[in-house]
Amino acid sequence: MSAMITRIAAWADRNMPKREELEHNRFIGPLARRHELWRFTRRSVPRGVAVGLLVGIFALIPGIQIIGAALMCVPCRGNIPLAAMMTFLSNPLTTPLILLASAWIGNWLGFHADLTTLYSLMESGASLHAWSHWFFSDAAPAVLFGLSTISTVVASIGYVVAKITWDWWVQHKRRTRRIAQAAARDEV
């Protein structure tokens, strides 16, 4: 697991834009100048994961997700790069499942969303007009309450998992450092 995390971190380091590069952008510059939003600390990492999952699942619109997650990281003091990466959990493959689950949860909470229409829209590859017609019928409250429930639960779980993973990673690095220092002392 340690090697996989190291590979993912190396890939992200190579491919993600650096904060220094973003400082020169007139739109992102003010966020890029706030160093605490870009550091990986024990508090900012779980916050960034939670914010990214919350916004990524609730918004479901690709451009708005990343911008919304970055802006929400400011008052929450979360890690912006992680929040942006977490928004990719909702993608074209997972969005229909998220919509279906949110409609089902909304129905379970007492609202009404016609699931047979939802199935037919997904199977037929319906147009945006057909989707918006379905959504703005009586399905909107069910889907919105379902999305808010799913995004809140997933963000909470993501926060806890990120916190546990971060603590494990720090302990692993400390243990490795202690073993290396003990081996160096034994050689002398």
- Which residue matches tokens 């400082």? 23
Taking all residues of the chain, what is their mean pLDDT, rounded to a whole number?
Answer: 84
| Cβ partners under 8 Å of residue 87, min gap 6 | 52, 53, 55, 56, 59, 62, 65, 66, 69
pLDDT per residue over 33-48, tens digit each? 566 777 788 899 999 9
Quote the strand ranges of the chain, DSSP E.
none
> Would you give per-residue pLDDT tens digits along the chain (188 residues)?
667 778 877 887 777 666 676 666 666 666 665 667 777 888 999 999 999 999 999 998 878 898 899 889 888 889 988 998 899 888 888 888 898 899 899 889 888 877 777 778 778 877 778 877 877 777 788 888 999 999 999 999 999 999 999 999 999 999 999 998 888 888 76
User: What's the full length of the chain, in residues?
Assistant: 188
pLDDT per residue over 64-94, tens digit each? 898 899 889 888 889 988 998 899 888 888 8
Q: Where are the domains of the chain?
A: 2-187
Task: Give me the phi and psi of 39, to 5 degrees please.
Answer: -85, 150
| Cβ partners under 8 Å of residue 174, min gap 6 | none
Task: Give me the phi and psi of 92, to 5 degrees please.
Answer: -60, -25
